[in-house]
Amino acid sequence: MTSGHRPSPLLAACVALIRVVGHTLPKVERTDWVMEWSAEMRGEWLDLEERGQLTLLKRVALARRSLGAVVDAAHFWIEALLMTLFDFRTALRAPLRDLRTTIVVVLTLALSIGANTALFSVIYNVLLRPLAYPEANRLVMIWDQPMDDPEITSVISPRNFEDWHEQNSSFEHLAAFNLWAVTFDFRGELQRVPGIIATGEYFQALQVQPILGRVFTPEDNRSGAEAVVVISHGLWQRQFGGDSSIVGRAVPTSRSGVTVIGVMPPGFRDPGGFFFATPDVWGTFRRDFLGENRRSHWMRTVARLKPEVTFEQAQADMTAIAARLAEAYPESNTGQTVKVVPLHEQVVGDVRLELWILTGAVALVLLIACANVANLMLSRAVSRNQEFAVRTALGAARTRIVGQLLAENVVLALIGGAGGVALAHWGARALIGLAPDLPRAETVVLNAPVLVFALTVTIATGVVFGLAPALQAGGVDLHAALKAGGRGSEGHDRRRLRSTLIVSEVALSLLLLIGAGLLTKSFLELRGTDPGFDESNVLTLRLNLSRGESATDALRAVVERVEQLPDVEYAGAVSSLPIRGLNNVGLGWTINGLETPLTESLNSFYREITPDYFSAMRIPTLSGRTFSDMDRDGAPPVAVVNDEFVRRYMNGEDPIGKQVSSSFAAPFTAEIVGVVRGVQYHNLETPPDPEVYVPHAQLHFLGVMFLAVRTAGDPLAPATAIRGTLRELYPNMVVDEVATMEQLVATSVARPRFNMLLTGIFSITALLLAGVGLYAVLAYSVTRRVHEVGIRMALGASGRSVQRMIVLDGMKLVVVGGALGLGAAFALTRVLQSLLFNVAVTDPATFVIVPAVVIAVAALASYLPARRAAALDPNTALRQE
């Protein structure tokens, strides 16, 4: 167009600017706008040139004028912004027009986003967040492990620990620790404060500094050193009023006294989480307390890797040390190796699978909720077809309508999400309440990462459930929609989309229900197992006796007095209570006169009891006799073994009359006088281990005993009287941890119960959602098909056949979804394997009952709309156009 003229760089630049700015304009305006602006620039230039007036001043003025194009374009930008704001205003207003749907949608979303957020707050804080120690990824725990069973990790012996400490080249610090307690004398009131006893490097390994005073040094480990303790921030505040002069002060205890050397920061925790979340006092082992016996195993170990040492190198190092020790001390260390476990794995390894499974379940609920909401929005979109058609006809771009619908959905999702976060706040608390033994449970809060998660899920949800209806609305057939008037119309595609949504909902909820069914059956199996004792009407208490001769007399007096109380049938004491599991001492035994290979030591648990213990727990005697008051100090030493001991070690011989020997604090030998039934000590899943019982009157090495009291009625009724009696007898004896045996058993199955309850809640929610979804779709289709139904009935179809037609429509979807869900269940339930007790992952009963339940619910959901269709009056139906 401008051929023949030398192109000016300034003009070219101005035109280029116009082109660039043009790209920011709506497509429909762009070509015209760019053409006009560049034509004007060129034309003016040429005019001036022709007239010989193209002075420098004019050129600059013209260039300035081209900047007006940017101002002009800005008007388009402002317009677009206003349009978007308008869409959002519409988006905010639209949900109010159909309030019922909106409430259902928001509630559905709030519940499912809330459940997901609550569970994520647990996942994040328990599994994903690093432990609260500096460079926690370098912390490990070290265990003994039998070579033939890599599943087992066990506590270690002090002598082995000393050798590990000297020989290893992998760890900066290596410390052993165990459960401990100090009975403080707080202004005349004795209080047993739980804590941890550890070797000197414990705090260095964890790298946590005290806020006051100092922690242990190797000097404190010396035999004969002053007894020193470090206390928790909590204890310091509660008992010492936060007084900073506590450091260096001697505090009286039930024995003599201890000196407080330091106070730990608040929130400092026991590394394994084995005993309790927050210990209140830390003491240190004296060298002379560690003993020489390599066969007594009772310590736990925590260590910090040197910065350059990898986890695998440390494991190799420790395996080599274990092999050397096994060679040097064959009688105690043969068949033993060492297992190094990262601390994070140690703390959360047990619950990881369960939590991820629950996450999967709750995510499925969210998917089902999305499908349901998508269905509702589809119905709503259909009735708004005309609105969209009119707007499209008036020139609104499809993208704008799709955008508006998405905006509407995101607004709905945000309202739902806000409700969800509020629910998650309570939900997370409820989850923790349901799972009392969840590690790191105390750290679960709705923190920033959790809120980011909630926001992401919310927006994603809005887009996911909004996408299908929005795209469908974008593809509205203008002609058909306008012609159909307010009735709207539903195309084939849309019906197929609805059916697909329902099929997936049914499939997903069936999958969830089968998972929940398996966990429920497993839980019932677990509760149905016979633990070997009768847990009903038994009250238990922990007694802290002083060691020594007087302990027997004290215990005898306690038992006698308690048995005289009203409502008490029997009272017996035991050193380790079933299910409760403390003081569980495992010893190596020999049976005199029985040939056993040296390497196969007869491992068996050791229990000290008083005569009425078996009666109090109703543990049956299988042969021989149990103990009586005659089995006292000075009488021939006797022992009672359980049936598992006999089965495993007696080679079919009669145990009665055989002598068993072992060594705990001192060697001893006793004659087996009876056999009792084995009881489950660890939990309801683990079968009984071999046990040897001895009369406390003859052997007493343990300072802590548990009293088991069988009552005539409510086991808690005599609790106050029992405590009163004990206080009267021994004012200095600390009595704590009062619980009924039923409570202990319930706590031991808390985790399976948690899994069962949660998957149960999730799957029932899923089923309800799917049922409601199916109902909504069929009810909607009945409304849409009133005219068709009218014609059918006018042509002679009976109400019953119309009803059958609608129900069949629904059931077709259910059968397809059910088949898919069953297939998925067969493929996926194996992840539950390790959580199931006595139930196969393809348990036939579950795979039959669950589909039957789903079909029943679906039939009900289909029947209700079908009945409405059948009750239609053909005349009214036909007129309803």
CA distance 709 to 730: 18
Amino acid in the structure at residue 762: F
CA distance 673 to 670: 9
Binding segment (CB under 8 A) for another protein, from list 61-69, 224-232, 295-303, 631-639: 61-69
Q: In the complex with another protein, which residue's Cβ is closer, 32 or 873?
A: 32
> Interface mask (CB under 8 A) for another protein, residues 679-698, using x and -?
--------------------
**Least Å distance between CB 56 and another protein?**
19
Those residues with Cβ within 8 angstroms of residue 462's Cβ, 6 or more apart along the chain or in another chain: 406, 409, 410, 411, 412, 413, 414
Q: In the complex with another protein, which residue's Cβ is closer, 63 or 460?
A: 63
Collapsed DSSP state (helix, strand, coil) of residue 674? strand
**Tokens for 461?**
């949800």
CA distance 127 to 257: 41
Question: Count of residues binding another protein (CB under 8 A)?
Answer: 24
CB count in 10 Å sphere of residue 522: 22
Residue 334 to residues 106, 145, 146, 600, 667, Cα–Cα distance (Å): 64, 11, 9, 10, 22
Closest CA to 730 of 501, 492, 550, 857: 550
Judged by CB under 8 A, which of 71, 394, 848, 852 binds another protein?
A: 71
> Interface mask (CB under 8 A) for another protein, residues 75-114, using x and -?
x---------------------------------------
**Least Å distance between CB 396 and another protein?**
16
Task: Based on the shown chain and the rule CB under 8 A, indicate whether residue 43 belongs to the binding site for another protein.
Answer: yes
**Tokens for 69?**
């194009």
**Least Å distance between CB 1 and another protein?**
5
CA distance 367 to 511: 13
**Least Å distance between CB 28 and another protein?**
13
> Interface mask (CB under 8 A) for another protein, residues 722-751, using x and -?
------------------------------
**Least Å distance between CB 62 and another protein?**
9
CA distance 461 to 109: 8
- The C-alpha angle with vertex 326 and arms to 325 and 327, in degrees rounded to 5, equals 90
Task: Based on the shown chain and the rule CB under 8 A, indicate whether residue 67 belongs to the binding site for another protein.
Answer: yes
Task: Based on the shown chain and the rule CB under 8 A, indicate whether residue 16 belongs to the binding site for another protein.
Answer: no
Binding segment (CB under 8 A) for another protein, from list 44-52, 139-147, 464-472, 788-796: 44-52
**Least Å distance between CB 418 and another protein?**
40
Task: Based on the shown chain and the rule CB under 8 A, indicate whether residue 425 belongs to the binding site for another protein.
Answer: no
Q: Are 620 and 632 in contact (CB under 8 A)?
A: no
Q: In the complex with another protein, which residue's Cβ is closer, 12 or 107?
A: 12
Task: Based on the shown chain and the rule CB under 8 A, indicate whether residue 26 belongs to the binding site for another protein.
Answer: no
Judged by CB under 8 A, which of 72, 387, 442, 685 binds another protein?
A: 72
Q: In the complex with another protein, which residue's Cβ is closer, 391 or 804?
A: 391
Q: How many CA atoms lie within 13 A of 595 on its CB side?
A: 0
Amino acid in the structure at residue 820: L
Task: Based on the shown chain and the rule CB under 8 A, indicate whether residue 69 belongs to the binding site for another protein.
Answer: yes
Report residue 623: phi and psi, to 5°. Answer: -160, 165
Judged by CB under 8 A, which of 26, 68, 130, 349 binds another protein?
A: 68
Task: Based on the shown chain and the rule CB under 8 A, indicate whether residue 38 belongs to the binding site for another protein.
Answer: yes
Task: Based on the shown chain and the rule CB under 8 A, indicate whether residue 2 belongs to the binding site for another protein.
Answer: yes
Binding segment (CB under 8 A) for another protein, from list 30-38, 91-99, 632-640, 735-743: 30-38
Strand 691-695 to strand 659-663: parallel, antiparallel, or no bridges (unpaired)?
A: unpaired
Q: Are 572 and 579 in contact (CB under 8 A)?
A: no
Contacts 24+ apart (CB under 8 A), 1-4: 1/42, 2/42, 2/46
Judged by CB under 8 A, which of 19, 42, 487, 648 binds another protein?
A: 42
Closest CA to 236 of 177, 181, 186, 285: 186
Judged by CB under 8 A, which of 1, 96, 666, 852 binds another protein?
A: 1
Query: Can you give the C-alpha Rg of the chain in angstroms?
Result: 39
Judged by CB under 8 A, which of 47, 219, 243, 493 binds another protein?
A: 47
Judged by CB under 8 A, which of 35, 452, 478, 480 binds another protein?
A: 35
CA distance 162 to 701: 24
**Least Å distance between CB 86 and another protein?**
17
CA distance 189 to 526: 42
Closest CA to 409 of 493, 366, 455, 470: 470
Binding segment (CB under 8 A) for another protein, from list 60-68, 129-137, 552-560, 842-850: 60-68
Task: Based on the shown chain and the rule CB under 8 A, indicate whether residue 44 belongs to the binding site for another protein.
Answer: yes
**Least Å distance between CB 80 and another protein?**
14
**Least Å distance between CB 115 and another protein?**
51
Q: Are 565 and 713 in contact (CB under 8 A)?
A: no
Q: In the complex with another protein, which residue's Cβ is closer, 227 or 396?
A: 396
Binding segment (CB under 8 A) for another protein, from list 16-24, 33-41, 147-155, 814-822: 33-41
Any idea how long the chain is?
881
CB count in 10 Å sphere of residue 308: 7
**Least Å distance between CB 797 and another protein?**
54
Binding segment (CB under 8 A) for another protein, from list 71-79, 183-191, 200-208, 703-711: 71-79
Judged by CB under 8 A, which of 10, 46, 92, 840 binds another protein?
A: 46
**Least Å distance between CB 31 and another protein?**
11
Task: Based on the shown chain and the rule CB under 8 A, indicate whether residue 48 belongs to the binding site for another protein.
Answer: no
Binding segment (CB under 8 A) for another protein, from list 37-45, 110-118, 286-294, 369-377: 37-45
CA distance 296 to 799: 81
Those residues with Cβ within 8 angstroms of residue 88's Cβ, 6 or more apart along the chain or in another chain: 407, 411
Task: Based on the shown chain and the rule CB under 8 A, indicate whether residue 7 belongs to the binding site for another protein.
Answer: no
Amino acid in the structure at residue 193: V
Binding segment (CB under 8 A) for another protein, from list 63-71, 117-125, 595-603, 752-760: 63-71
Residue 15 to residues 31, 327, 512, 680, Cα–Cα distance (Å): 13, 90, 64, 89
| Helices 750-784, 492-528: inter-axial angle, 10-degree rounding | 160
Task: Based on the shown chain and the rule CB under 8 A, indicate whether residue 39 belongs to the binding site for another protein.
Answer: yes
Task: Based on the shown chain and the rule CB under 8 A, indicate whether residue 70 belongs to the binding site for another protein.
Answer: yes
Task: Based on the shown chain and the rule CB under 8 A, indicate whether residue 567 belongs to the binding site for another protein.
Answer: no
Burial of 720 from C-beta contacts in 10 A (0-12 / 13-18 / 19+): exposed
Q: Are 234 and 180 in contact (CB under 8 A)?
A: no
Q: In the complex with another protein, which residue's Cβ is closer, 391 or 868?
A: 391
Task: Based on the shown chain and the rule CB under 8 A, indicate whether residue 61 belongs to the binding site for another protein.
Answer: no
**Least Å distance between CB 63 and another protein?**
11
Residues that bind another protein (CB under 8 A): 1-2, 4, 35-40, 42-44, 46-47, 65-72, 74-75
